Amino acid sequence: MRIERLENRIINGDSSEVLRKFPSNSIDLVVTSPPYDSLRDYTGEGIWNFGCFKKIARQLYRVLAPGGVMVWVVGDQIVGGGKTLTSFKQAVFFQSIGFTVFDVIIYEKTGSGPPHPNRYFNSFEYMFILSKGTPKTVNLLKDKPNKWANHTTYGNVTRREKDGSLTDKGQKTVNEFGVRTNIWRYANGKGFSTKDEIAYQHPAIFPEKLAEDNIRSWSNEGDIVLDPFGGSGTVVKAAMALNRRWSMIEISEEYCRIAAQRTGLECNTERL
């Protein structure tokens, strides 16, 4: 099937099947938060298992263009007193099928969930930045305030070369903002992740700003962004606002309708 027929569509279906219809090397960026462990059964059709994950992972590698990036937002459940490490198992599997683990970004939440007995509050998830080869687009976000902005460095800046020698780079003026770290902090929870009341009919949305920042970082205008676990349509909304083409897959018809209503695409939900 030609990618043009799959663009700008909310597709109601199972990603393990729908992705087979996507042409190879056709997607520039994937931004998604999959179901994991047995924390929720979103559809009443059972919990997503590792076998399902592996099928979808292989398809995502196939459809991603060379140099394309996938942002995989995931966490771990506590089972039998310990972390499942599902996130790491998934990352290692992605690596085994050809992905490069380009970076690991921590998504820090300002709103923590209920406490677990004898544990610190859990306030983060992982964002695995996975690339198919060397990323073709890296737009580093420069929004970290510099304490010494507009001041000149004390002494000359030097760089250590591979042979151990130092290259003198001279004095530098400190910019007002620098590249952010790989810990990204977002206000989450009702009223913070989005102002769209309808989105909260989905039990696990991530902040719109998180989607926007990743789309800005790893794609350019006109690129095509895919969310294979589209949920309430957060990635679709961000992609539309940032002039990207997009495609969304969601197994729940109810959530497809929520996403369509949220993005003004009521008539665009359809099952392949």
231: helix, strand or coil: coil
Q: What percent of the chain has pLDDT over 70?
A: 84
What local confidence, expressed as pLDDT, does residue 89 receive? 95
The tokens for 164 are: 């151990």
Which range is least confidently modeled, 138-152, 207-221, 239-253?
138-152
What local confidence, expressed as pLDDT, does residue 203 receive? 62
| Burial call 115-126: b when 16+ CB within 10 Å, e when fewer | eeeeeeebeebb
pLDDT band at 130 (very low <50, low <70, confident <90, very high): very high
Consecutive H or E run containing 241: helix 234-241
Beta strand 27-32 pairing with 124-131: unpaired
Which range is least confidently modeled, 41-45, 170-174, 177-181?
41-45
Rounded to 5°, angle at Cα 200 from 198 and 203: 140
Residue corresponding to tokens 């771990």: 76
What pTM was estimated for this model as a whole?
Answer: 0.85
Digit-coded pLDDT (tens) for 43-92: 544 446 888 899 999 999 999 999 999 999 999 988 888 899 999 999 99
What local confidence, expressed as pLDDT, does residue 44 receive? 47
Residue corresponding to tokens 């940032």: 242
pLDDT above 80 (res 189): no
User: How high is the mean pLDDT of the chain?
Assistant: 86
**How far, in Å, are 5, 11, 84 from residue 76 at the CA level?**
36, 28, 6
Consecutive H or E run containing 62: helix 50-63
What local confidence, expressed as pLDDT, does residue 46 receive? 42
Domains of the chain in start order, with CATH, are 3-141+180-270 (3.40.50.150), 142-179 (no CATH)
CA atoms within 13 A on the CB side of 220: 6
